[in-house]
Structure 1
Amino acid sequence: MSERQLKMSALISELAAEFLGSESNRLSLITVTRADISPDFARATIYISVFPDDKEEEALHFTRRKRAAFRDMLKKRLSVRRIPFVEFELDYGEKNRQRIDEISNDVQ
């Protein structure tokens, strides 16, 4: 990933966290874990984790419904030529890391 991609990913991740914090219904905690952006800056994938786990699907539907509003926020806050199309996904890597930690704590 280029330096420019890394900076844009970090900025989009920060803005997504701010947006979801202000727009969410507070029934679940939605945390932005990271954002990846394509080399041509046309697409951004934002990875989230959700607590409690049973609210994951509901939170994912919420983020997908709010995609257009988030993209509008990006248009206002970013000074770039191309605003990326945004996709939200669950971060299974983070969930798997938590599960491994639980298992290792049980073994000890």
Structure 2
Amino acid sequence: MTPDRSRSPRGKQDNRAAEIIAHEAAQFIAREAGTESLITVIRAQSVAHGDRIMIFVSVFPIEKARAALAFLERQREAFSDHLKTHTKLRLPRIEFMLDNGE
């Protein structure tokens, strides 16, 4: 049986960091993304003891999902710079994943 990490102090820190990063990702995407598609941050999840954060996004229309994920991948360094200036977090590796609720 694996321990419930959300009850440990480290698990709570990872969850809080994921929440902050999801909020900042939503602001960054709203400012930087074009108008060809709507990119919405659904949630962020801490992986590998906080060394990586997976940010799940929804894209509408779905036909633009590949282009939207390519945009986010290109903007990953700019988003890391955004996090450096807007948070005091230890920066994890950021990954964007599609989550259109299917």
Q: If the TM-score is normalised by the length of the shorter chain, which range does it land in?
A: 0.7 to 0.9
Aligned residue pairs total 93
Q: Secondary structure at the match of 2:34?
A: coil
SS in 1 for 2:45: strand
Deviations 1:53-94 (A, max 9, x none): 1100000000000000001111111213x21111101015x1
Q: How far has the Cα of 1:40 moved from its partner?
A: 3.2
What residue in structure 1 maps to residue 98 of structure 2?
90
CA distance in 2, matches of 1:18, 1:63: 13
Query: Which residue of structure 1 aligns with residue 68 of structure 2?
Result: 59
The structure with the largest alpha-carbon Rg is 1
Show structure 2 runs of 5+ residues with no match.
Answer: 1-5
TM-score for both structures, normalised by structure 2: 0.85
Q: Which residue is 2:80 aligned to?
A: 71
Q: Which has the higher helix share?
A: 1
- Give the RMSD, CA atoms, in angstroms: 1.2
CA shift, 1:38, in A, is 2.6
Q: How does 1:1-108 map to 2 (within 5 A)?
A: 1=6, 2-38=11-47, 40-80=49-89, 82-92=90-100, 94=101, 96=102
Q: List alignment gaps of at least 5 residues for structure 1.
A: 97-108
